[in-house]
A and B are shown apart, each in its own frame.
Chain A
Amino acid sequence: MSTGSQIAMGAQAPVAAGSGSAAMAGQAAAAEPRIPVIALSGVEKVYRTGEVEVKAVTGVTLTVQRGEFLAIMGASGSGKSTMMNILGCLDRPTAGEYRLDGVSVAGLKRAQLARLRNHKLGFVFQSFNLLPRTTALENVELPLFYSEPLVPLREQRRRAREALERVGLGSRLSHRPSQLSGGQQQRIAIARALVNHPGLLLADEPTGNLDSRTSIDIMGLFQELNDSGITVIVVTHELDVAAYCRRIVVMRDGRVLDDRPNAAPARAAAQRARLDREEQAANIEERGGAY
């Protein structure tokens, strides 16, 4: 049955089959049923500003399987933001191939890319990027609003509520972003990223605007989501943040410098518990001093 469907797929895409890579991918899929969430091969991105060509990313080959928790690390100018944009289908590579869930992104139109982002991706940004003067619930509903086929309104509301409950904001449904703390705003953003049940969560410096305690909470939330099977990719320049991930990819000058699993990722829940204990101890000490 599965072999049959693979053959049918090959017949439907004769151009891809002619290039050979699709046929190989088909064989690989037949042998190993898991299609990688992300498959980059020889991806390049060249920006042209007037006469000058800037190679932001050169020859990156990377495969991310379902359920991974990946950090892409690098200093500014390393090409990690460009990688993030390409992975998020906000930008297209100038060379090389990017397959998202087995679908080649090259040659897709703006509208088709938009549909891909809507169904398969969830974004979390450093600056939250919530709609101002709009309630948490409405912010979370936004991706469903653009979903095809359209999700019925009542279902939209139900799913948005569910997503907010999942990030622990079930009691802040009708608050506006300006009425909430940074950590809470980022939780809304995560709920928004989750609401359409995407296979992949992309986070760009998700803790960049948060204090360390809230950062731990947010990373803990990502770990929880990853534990429940969602693939998470975090782009960051902070080692502390990368430490929570199970695999760390280091980039420099547009290339992958290092790619290895993180044998012992930090557990945010445990850290948070320790932090609380320390604080409690400090409080008691302070009080003891006062007596």
Chain B
Amino acid sequence: MFTWLRGLLLRTALTALTALKALRRNKLRSSLTALGIIIGVFAVVAMVAVGNGARTLIEAQVAGLGRNMLVVFAGSRRSAGVNNGIGSASAITLPDTEALRLEIPDVVAVSPEVTATAQVIANGRNWSTSIAGESPQFLLIRDWALTSGSMFTDREVRGAAKVGVIGSKTAHELFGPLDPVGQTVRIGNIPFLIIGVLASKGAGGNGQNDDDRIVIPYTTAMKRITGDKYVRVVYLQVADAARMQVAQEQITRLLRQRHRLETDAPDDFNIFNQKQIADTVSTVTGALTALLGAIAGLSLLVGGIGIMNIMLVSVTERTREIGIRISVGAQPGDIRVQFLIEAVTLSLLGGLVGVLLGIGAAQLVGAVTTFKAIVTPGSIVLAFSVSFAIGVFFGFYPARRASLLDPIDALRYE
């Protein structure tokens, strides 16, 4: 039994050696044939890497928006049949936000937001930036840290204190390398004391730079800068990601009740659910990756057909050799294995080079751009198994044809 198995293995090994010799004899042709698979595997690995990179980037951006975050936008109340769009109606009041904080147990942090764009002056320079009025919980909700100083307190919010924390870009524009903490910034004509610097978040997914802003208490912003009585946006944090949906429903119910909406009336606000967005983004980027992979997979198929074509040519060309082998005692299985191994070797070599090129391309993309293409072990394993399968699939027919040649005709073949 074991000697039989060893004989079989040795025989297969010898046949493989013959196949490799045959490939080596036709180096140019072998490499051109493998090129089809190389390009296919390269395309699959590179495309999936790019897709994964895009997905990771977008997911990181969504995650960077905050932690378990819900955002309520005042908005789009229909007045006389005209939809004014999100935020067009100033429907959320400060008592509304207070009610959200106190009456919904899942909500652990609330920050009403008012925003404005203003010219700010400090250190002899001036800069146009975005002013955001927030509560102290804003940093918690947005999962944002300070690099120096501290955040303003609830007490400073109640007192509408003229203090603020500054975004890293704004700080750089106004103060250069100087530490802005303890410095005074004039927003409009009102002096504000800078008490902290926000950590850099990088360019946000919404097209505006998160780092270019000054965050001040919302009370101060409403009173001194915008003059608004309402807030347009409320940031909320939910304690548990699993409770996001429940919290969203509770908020909807509470706000509808407080705004005295009829049962059939539409909401006069919109709720942005970070988890929903993240899920949607994952689905979309996943589909994108799959699409890229599928398109690249087509070129792999073309490569496989190339292998089949060359193997058929090779079988015809080597008809006489096959005849000789059969006449001295090669069994159909021996011939089949020989040609199958040739095809599989071509496709596996192609797969190997393709994977290496794909990894190289991903590295290059990572080095040249800020975008990181990510090669996963899964895509490498997949590329290898697919190229192996292609070798077997497209090699089988030519190999079978070779093994079924009639030795008499084959020996006479010129």
Contact = CB atoms under 8 A, between A and B. Distances in A.
Q: Do A and B bind each other?
A: yes
Interface of A: 85, 88, 90-91, 110-111, 114-115, 117-119, 123, 125, 129-131, 133, 142-143, 145-150, 192, 196
A149 B3 contact: yes
A129 B329 contact: no
Given A118-B328, A118-B329, A129 B7 contact: no
A80 B327 CA distance: 18
A150 B9 CA distance: 10
Nearest to B403: A110
Given A150-B7, A150-B10, A117 B321 contact: no
A147 B7 contact: no
Contact of A117 (B11, B14, B18, B327): B327
B327 A111 contact: no
B333 interface: yes
Contacts of B18: 145
Contact of A143 (B11, B328, B408): B328
Given A119-B329, A147-B329, A150-B11, 20 more contacts: A90-B327, A90-B408, A110-B331, A111-B332, A114-B329, A114-B332, A118-B328, A125-B411, A129-B324, A129-B327, A133-B25, A142-B325, A142-B328, A143-B329, A145-B18, A146-B329, A146-B334, A149-B3, A149-B7, A192-B328
A119 B328 CA distance: 9
B23 to A, nearest CB: 13
A123 B325 CA distance: 11
B7 A148 contact: yes
B290 to A, nearest CB: 45
A146 B330 contact: yes
Contacts of B324: 129-131, 142
Contacts of A90: 327, 407-408
Contacts of B332: 110-111, 114
Contacts of A196: 329
Contacts of B55: none
B177 to A, nearest CB: 73
A130 B321 CA distance: 8
A194 to B, nearest CB: 12
A131 B411 CA distance: 12
Given A115-B331, A133-B25, A146 B7 contact: no
Given A129-B323, A150-B7, A91 B331 contact: no
A85 B25 contact: no
Contacts of B331: 110-111, 114-115, 146
B411 to A, nearest CB: 6
Contacts of B330: 114, 146
A291 B3 CA distance: 74
B328 A123 contact: yes
A147 B321 CA distance: 18
A227 B2 CA distance: 41
A117 B326 CA distance: 9
Contact of B14 (A91, A114, A145, A149): A145
Nearest to B414: A127
B320 interface: yes
Contacts of A115: 329, 331
B13 to A, nearest CB: 10
29 contacts: A88-B327, A90-B327, A90-B407, A90-B408, A91-B408, A110-B331, A110-B332, A114-B329, A114-B330, A114-B331, A114-B332, A115-B329, A117-B327, A117-B328, A117-B329, A123-B327, A123-B328, A129-B320, A129-B323, A129-B327, A142-B325, A143-B328, A143-B329, A145-B14, A146-B325, A148-B7, A149-B3, A149-B7, A196-B329
Contacts of B14: 145
A110 B330 CA distance: 10
B21 to A, nearest CB: 8
A110 B336 CA distance: 13
Can you list the 5 inter-chain pairs with the closest CB atoms, starting with the nearest?
Answer: A118-B329, A143-B328, A111-B331, A146-B329, A114-B331
Interface string B304-345: 000000000000000011011111111111100000000000
B326 A114 contact: yes
Nearest to A91: B408
B333 A111 contact: yes
A142 B7 CA distance: 16
B28 to A, nearest CB: 15
A196 B329 CA distance: 11
A111 B11 CA distance: 15
Contacts of A146: 325, 328-331, 334
A90 B407 CA distance: 7
B400 to A, nearest CB: 13
Interface string B3-35: 100010011001000100000010000000000
Contacts of A91: 408
A90 B321 CA distance: 15
Contacts of A129: 320, 323-324, 327, 411
Contacts of B328: 117-118, 123, 142-143, 146, 192
Indicate the member of B329, B331, B332 with the most A CB atoms within 10 Å: B329
A84 to B, nearest CB: 10
Contacts of B10: 150
A216 to B, nearest CB: 26
Contacts of A145: 14, 18
A111 B335 CA distance: 11
A178 to B, nearest CB: 13
Indicate the member of B323, B328, B330, B334 with the most A CB atoms within 10 Å: B328
